[in-house]
Amino acid sequence: MGRKFFVGGNWKCNGTTEEVKKIVSVLNEGQVPSSDVVEVVVSPPFVFLGLVKSSLRPDFHVAAQNCWVKKGGAFTGEISAEMLVNLDIPWVILGHSERRLILNESNEFVGDKVAYALSQGLKVIACVGETLEQREAGSTMDVVAAQTKAIADRVSSWSNIVLAYEPVWAIGTGKVATPVQAQEVHFELRKWLFANTSPEIAAATRIIYGGSVNGANCKELAAQPDVDGFLVGGASLKPEFIDIIKSAELK
């Protein structure tokens, strides 16, 4: 199929300098499949990007966890896409549910961010996902389609986007989606891309799963045909992240 397996580690708002150095040294020693087989991207908090970038093995890459919606300027506390490009940070995570829900980022705002980051040359891990309430109301597909549409409406190319399906009820809860639940939404998202972007984009875009992924449950999830990798939170701070990267071998 030609979709290279993708494993992202979202460190969220965690870590001290010492802890970051430890995580990097575990990653640097890890035996993992070659970068022909798996693309690995870790996303430390902004303040550690430089440290991680300068000490991380060259076959792994770094991502910021957010960036400003347009050109930088008088936006206190924000980090612009231009700054990330200037620091040679290739990736950015946008639309994470923690930002959508806690910081009230709307679908449109996230779509604007994705379009602007791409226009500056960044690659984007764009996150979508429903809450438990929305799942129980039967609106999972409507929610993730609306989130995806707000991106699709604003971008012309998907070649630098990885779509991360992260059901909110599975994030940090230990309640992982079953492989069947994950496959079902990934399949529907690919179908949505097929109908609303192009067959080529649907076939080529990596759709990765996030939400309580760990070293034990990753294999069964990775075996699903439309699961092209993972966005890992808690377990990306631990040595088991290496085991999750190795699940690429199952593809």
Ligand X SMILES: O=C(CO)COP(=O)(O)O
Catalytic residues: 96, 166
Among 20, 122, 171, 248, binds ligand X (CB under 6 A): 171
Cβ atoms of 24 and 53 closer than 8 Å: no
| Residue closer to ligand X (CB basis): 118 or 171 | 171
Burial of 184 (0-12, 13-18, 19+ CB in 10 A): middle
Residue 109, token pair as written in the block: 């705002």
Stretch that binds ligand X, among 78-86, 103-111, 133-141, 164-172 (CB under 6 A): 164-172
**Is residue 232 within the footprint of ligand X (CB under 6 A)?**
yes
For ligand X, the closer of residues 112 and 166 by Cβ is: 166
The residue count for binding ligand X (CB under 6 A) is 14
Distance CA 1, CA 40 (A): 19
Q: Report residue 60: phi and psi, to 5°.
A: -105, 150
227 near 6, Cβ under 8 Å? no
Minimal distance in Å, beta carbon 200 to ligand X? 27
Count the Cβ atoms, other than its own, within 10 Å of residue 17.
10
Q: Smaller CB distance to ligand X: residue 20 or 202?
A: 20
Residues 44-103 that bind ligand X (CB under 6 A): 96
List, in order, residues 6 or more apart from 184 with CB less than 8 Å away: none
**In the bound complex, what is the minimum distance in angstroms from residue 210's beta carbon to ligand X?**
4
Contact track, ligand X, 119-158, x by CB under 6 A: ----------------------------------------
Residue 9 identity (one-letter amino acid):
G
Tell the smallest beta-carbon distance from residue 176 to ligand X (Å).
Answer: 8
Residue with Cβ nearer ligand X (15 or 202): 15
Q: Where are the alpha helices (DSSP H) in the chain?
A: 17-29, 49-55, 81-86, 97-102, 107-119, 132-136, 140-152, 179-196, 199-204, 218-222, 240-246
Question: Could you tell me which stretch among 103-111, 141-149, 187-195, 207-215 binds ligand X (CB under 6 A)?
Answer: 207-215
Among 111, 167, 211, 229, interactor with ligand X by CB under 6 A:
211
Q: What does the alpha-carbon distance between residue 241 and residue 234 come to, in Å, rounded to a whole number?
A: 9
For the bound state, the minimum distance from the C-beta of residue 38 to ligand X, rounded and expressed in Å, comes to: 17
Q: Residues interacting with ligand X, by CB under 6 A?
A: 10, 96, 166, 171-172, 210-213, 231-235
